[in-house]
Amino acid sequence: MTKNTIWAVIFTLIILMMWSYYLKRNYQPVPQNNRIQFAGLKNIQYNKKSQALTLSWEKAISKYPVTYMVYSAENNKIALPNQPFATTSNTSYSINQFDPSQNYYFLVKAVDPYNYSDNNNHQIMFQALKNPQIAQEEIIKFENQNAVYYLSTLGGRIKNIELKKYANIHDSKPVTLIYEDKIKNKYFYPLDIKLLADKDLGTFPGNDTSLYSGAIYKDRIVFTSRNRSVNIIKEYIFPSDAYYFNLKITLQAVDKTDISFNRIVLKWQPVLGPVDKIDKYDILTVGYYQLEKLNQIKIKGKQLDQPVIKKDENMKWVTFYNRYFIAAMIPDESYRIKETVFYSDGNIYIGGISSEIDRNKLSAMEKIEYNYTIYAGPKLRDTFRKEKKLNSLESSILTQRLFVGKIVNKLGNFFLDVLILLNKLVHNFGLAVILFSIFIKIVLYPLTHKQLDSMAKMQKIQPIINQVKEQFKNDPKRLNVELMNVYKKYKVNPFGGCLPLILQIPIFFAIWDMLQYSLELRSADFLWIKSLALPDTVAHIMGVPINPLPILM
């Protein structure tokens, strides 16, 4: 054994002896007689005026400080409590955010620093009220040059967005971007936040039903409320001539003993549909933007039992969009999105972006701010290009086709510029489309002429080809050689008929996308056609649409 090895063993033994002495000196056994005496939840009171529930219990008997954990379940008893929705050191707790028309079960546990807890599983049920008083909702209207916004004090949320410069094709009424359920006679308020713990991400579809106080200023509306132990301020800031607004959310703790959450989820549900009932292409799509690409969420069936969670630091924003309109939640670049979350419940689609909450700041009673840009309006290509923070929204306008996607998009944008230029000359998109068709025909004439010329030559030598095939039908190798000699002799390219057609395919795709998704054509009429973006149906015979243009063609 070497000298260095001996010294290493000696030093190791010394360190182990010192560590054992330190542990023995600082070891304090958990007291075995520390049994908490706790009678459990005693009472639930409902205040009709404030519409709040107050849970109360007697103080637990313990030699050490006790924390009370509050559990809740809707309609069914609490079987296996895991994550409490509230933690407090008081002997009462008030709940403002709940639906008085539902049954609720509550359970309170007392826990000491050594993780001893009571064994009392006494649960109390809040019986649903027969005629519950719902918080009185107040609607606040805000208007700029492009849109009218209706906001509700119930949850401090957007209730409706009405676009001034766009109308529905089927009834000529202004486009409203928020879906209204006529059967249930209610709106699905889209913009909402949830304060959650990591384990509770699946509960994010629930809505904030608490009443906010609202204040109106020249260019903004500010809502204030309290959720659990945190004051929440939602500030909506509206530019005078834009389809987007800024949302600033401020959190400040008022009771640091009840901070059991570590993330904030901003969610949107379900916007932009239906807009035009007669437009079969007007389909709601949900997606997220990542690594310079817009990705769609594939929802199989009409319902998801579990949310779809995407984790990546390169997530930029979440969007709901259809053929001509889009709503996107774009967080400030100063903080990263932790996850994007998607959920469906029947025909209701919900999407959210989750960001971390610094609980140390909240515990120190410091304010935490989150800033978002919310775009809700038409897909305006020029607007997206001018506003730096909206640049990536242009990816929602044209189809992202496999392999030829970039080529198709560039061609589609070029063709749209040509169509807009022609419209400025003739002041009618119908005539502009006719001129555009002539322009495309002229541009593609060399390829078309070469294709027809090659087909004519092939037709001319077809008898010779048939003769060669018959002569060498039993010798495939010789047949191929002789056929190539025939093509060479008569200067015919066997692929000359299909090659020009293949080269034209990206152009046809680009024209299709441009005509299908161009907002400019949506409200453009021509002769008997209400919208150049839709079929020119004039009537239906036994369910079959009658379209004059295809018949004339």
Taking residues 421-431, what's their average pLDDT? 88
| Better-predicted residue by pLDDT, 159 or 304 | 159
Long-range contact set of residues 127-133: C-beta below 8 Å, sequence gap at least 24: 127/103, 128/100, 128/101, 128/102, 128/103, 129/46, 129/100, 129/101, 132/99, 132/100, 132/101, 133/48, 133/51, 133/100
Considering only CA atoms, give the Rg of the chain. 34
Query: Which of 199-203, 272-276, 331-335 tops mean pLDDT?
Result: 331-335
* pLDDT per residue as tens digits for the range 232-268: 899 999 998 899 999 999 988 877 666 777 888 888 8
Tokens of residue 172, six digits: 């000529």
Q: Is residue 232 packed enough to be buried (19+ CB in 10 Å), middle (13-18) or exposed (0-12)?
A: buried
Give me the helices (H) in 345-489, please. 359-363, 381-386, 405-426, 429-443, 445-460, 462-471, 476-489
CA-to-CA separations, 413 to 153, 281, 496, 508, in angstroms, rounded: 42, 20, 29, 13
* pLDDT per residue as tens digits for the range 393-423: 888 886 655 445 677 777 888 888 888 888 8
CB 261 within 8 A of CB 86: no
* pLDDT per residue as tens digits for the range 200-225: 676 666 666 677 888 888 889 999 88
DSSP state of 467: H
Which residues are CB-neighbours of 21 under 8 A, at least 6 positions away? none
* pLDDT per residue as tens digits for the range 93-129: 887 667 677 788 898 988 888 777 776 678 888 888 8
0.95 surpassed by pTM: no
Calpha distance 477→483 (Å, rounded): 10
| Better-predicted residue by pLDDT, 533 or 552 | 552
Give me the helices (H) in 201-294, please. none
Nearest alpha carbon to residue 397 among 382, 379, 416, 414:
379
